[in-house]
């Protein structure tokens, strides 16, 4: 006859095994490039008193690519090149910044990286890998795209509009 401690140990081990198996087979909530497809198109806006232009492709081959071009006094001020790649954990946004003359801001093999957090209709949320910044990509209307930047303030994320774009008509 088994003692109560032996029965409890056997029950605990079988429960742990079942929970581990369930966790490995349970579907994980991760996003897809479809959650970021709202970026697709050609966009114009203003930033720091100058025009800003952006364009993103439709998702294809597990990626989206795009750019933002900022201008000031009719000259380039900054370029941002974007790649969203699909991973097992969801899309990852990678951004490299360049000064005029294609002078890289980040080191050659570095980029700002943002992990997918969540999505809802017409909106996707990403967080910088160091946890310091969150970015919301939001389609506020069929012809308006807004990029919001968020930072922690008093233990809460506070967001403000960074770029407001209107779609360029074809």
pTM attached to this predicted model: 0.80
CA 152 to chain centre: 17
User: What ranges do the domains of the chain cover?
Assistant: 33-167
Count of CB atoms situated within 10 Å of the CB of 35: 21
pLDDT in tens, the chain (170 residues): 555 444 333 433 333 333 333 323 333 358 999 999 999 999 999 998 899 999 999 999 999 999 999 999 999 999 999 999 999 989 999 999 999 999 999 998 999 999 999 999 999 999 999 999 999 999 999 999 999 999 999 999 999 999 999 999 86
Question: Hey, what CATH class is 33-167 in?
Answer: mainly beta
């Amino acid at each position: 006859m088994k003692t109560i401690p032996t029965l409890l140990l056997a029950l605990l081990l079988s429960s742990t095994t079942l929970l581990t198996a369930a966790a490995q087979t349970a579907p994980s909530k991760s996003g897809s490039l479809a959650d970021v497809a709202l970026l697709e198109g050609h966009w114009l806006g203003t930033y720091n008193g100058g025009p800003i232009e952006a364009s993103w492709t439709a998702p294809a081959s597990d990626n989206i690519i795009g750019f933002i071009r900022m201008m000031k006094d009719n000259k380039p001020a900054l370029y941002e090149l974007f790649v969203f790649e699909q991973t097992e954990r969801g899309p990852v946004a990678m951004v490299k910044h360049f000064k005029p003359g294609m002078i890289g801001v980040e080191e050659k093999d570095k980029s700002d990286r943002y992990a997918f957090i969540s999505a809802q209709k017409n909106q996707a949320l990403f967080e910088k890998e160091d946890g310091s910044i969150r970015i919301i990509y939001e389609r506020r209307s069929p012809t308006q795209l807004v990029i919001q930047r968020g930072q922690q303030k008093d233990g809460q994320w506070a967001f403000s509009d960074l770029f407001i774009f209107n779609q360029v008509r074809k």
